[in-house]
Amino acid sequence: MCRTPTPIAVHDSFLSAQLKNFHPGDHVALSFVPADEAKDLGGVLRNIQITITPVSSSSLCWIVAVTAAAYVLLAALFTGFRPLRLIIGMDNRYSNSKFQVALWFAILIVTYAATFWVRLEYGGWAFLDSITIPTNLLLLSGLSAITFGGAKAITQTKVDAAAAHGIMVKAPAASPSFMRDLFQNDRSQVDFGDFQMIVVTLLAAAVYIVIVLHSLAALELRKTVSLPDVDSTILAAFGLGQGAYLTKKAVGNVGEC
């Protein structure tokens, strides 16, 4: 049975401006002055806010854990159950650029899948889609991809140039070593450029994971939502770390980066 919509007047300019933030399909909670008191057809709007549904910590942890496990399983299936091969370079060493882009890709995919699941379970089929990516998160993901591509291009250019002059480049490692490969150069010296990029990447990832969990714990029932964004400080620090790493790669000699 269809119900006739009840018109509600809006006399407050602040509320009138606030209504522009809502869209068809949003679930809202509102309060209004009844028509008989307001002497206005349908009543007068007093307050409106988006409906927020709490998500229990146990359910949220379960959803995130399952989506993360599904991602790892998928990566394992596509790599012959050796997912770490995704971050190992052709020299049989763990690659800093591959590590950071793989980490952010995993976080982005798991965050999207977990958000999709939470919205479906707590909001219903009406909230099945319409998940967007915010500006800073898009920029951070782009920086990660640029660093990966830039590092590979720089290394390949130097290797080709060395080969053209008959210079022997570094031989593949006998076996990859996570800590050594990510933090040390080929002279077994701790490299500040590598250290800075890895630390900033891990810090940004940890902060973003906390933001995601906090955001999903209080689910806003909006028809269209955005994934949680990263703040400008994290974005700037991440950009500096990536820039320093690429600069180090560009000015260093082959086998020392």
**For residue 194, what pLDDT is reported?**
84
- CA–CA gap between residue 188 and residue 98 (Å, rounded): 20
Helix (H, G, I), strand (E, B) or coil at 28: strand
Q: Which residues contact 90 (CB under 8 A, 6 or more apart)?
A: 172
**For residue 214, what pLDDT is reported?**
94
pTM: 0.82
- Ordered by start, the domain boundaries in the chain are 13-50, 54-251
> What's the pLDDT tens digit per position in 135-152?
888 888 888 888 888 887
Higher pLDDT, 170 or 150: 150
State the average pLDDT for the chain: 84
Cα angle vertex 215, ends 61, 66, to 5°? 25
> What's the pLDDT tens digit per position in 90-135?
788 898 888 989 999 999 999 999 999 999 999 888 887 789 998 8
Higher pLDDT, 45 or 215: 215
Segment 184-191 shows an average pLDDT of: 77
Q: Tell me the CA distances in angstroms from 221 to 25, 74, 80, one per residue in order.
A: 9, 30, 40
pLDDT at 233 over 90: no
